Amino acid sequence: MPKDALGHGSNPQGTHSATIAKLPKMGRAHFEQIAANLLASKPADESNRSANEAFSARLSAAADKLATTNPGFNRNRFIAAASGNVKGQGRKSRASSRANAAGKANRVFAKGGF
C-alpha cells in the first residue's frame, strides 16, 4: 500500500484506503493497549534471531493496519512502545478509556487481526 507524506496508508489521491471502513475508529488508548499486548508477546530470548524477525514482521504488519484507522497515528512511536523502546510514557489516558480500549484490542486479536 502506498504511503502519504505522513507515512499513512493512502492511495495516490491522498485518501485513505478502503480498509478504514472495515476497522473501528481507534485512538491513543487503543494504540497503547495494542502496543502493550504486542510487547507482552515479545520473545524473551533476544538471541533467537528467527523469533525476533517474526516479532518485527508482526509489529510492522500491525502498524500498517493501524495507520489506516487514524490519520494521526504515529508509526514510529507505536513501534517503539510495542518493542519496549519508550523512554517516557507521555500523557496518560483515563482508566475507563483504557478498559474500553483493552476490550476492543482483545476483540481484534481474537479475530486474528494481527
- Is residue 3 domain-resident? no
Q: Please tell me whether residue 101 adopts helix, strand or coil conformation.
A: helix
Q: Name the residue range of residue 106's domain.
A: 18-110
- 35 found inside a domain: yes
What's the number of domains the chain is made of? 1
Q: Is residue 48 part of a domain?
A: yes
105 falls within a domain: yes
Q: Within a domain: residue 31?
A: yes
Single out the residue of 8, 74, 84, 77 nearest to residue 52, CA to CA. 84
The answer to whether residue 6 sits within a structural domain is no
Q: Is residue 59 part of a domain?
A: yes
Tens of pLDDT along the chain (114 residues) come to 556 555 555 555 555 555 555 556 788 899 999 999 999 999 988 889 999 999 999 999 999 999 988 889 999 999 999 998 876 555 555 556 667 777 777 776 666 655
For residue 91, count CB atoms less than 10 angstroms from its CB and return exposed for 0-12, middle for 13-18, buried for 19 or more: exposed
pTM over 0.75: no
Helix (H, G, I), strand (E, B) or coil at 10: strand
Q: Is 55 part of any domain?
A: yes
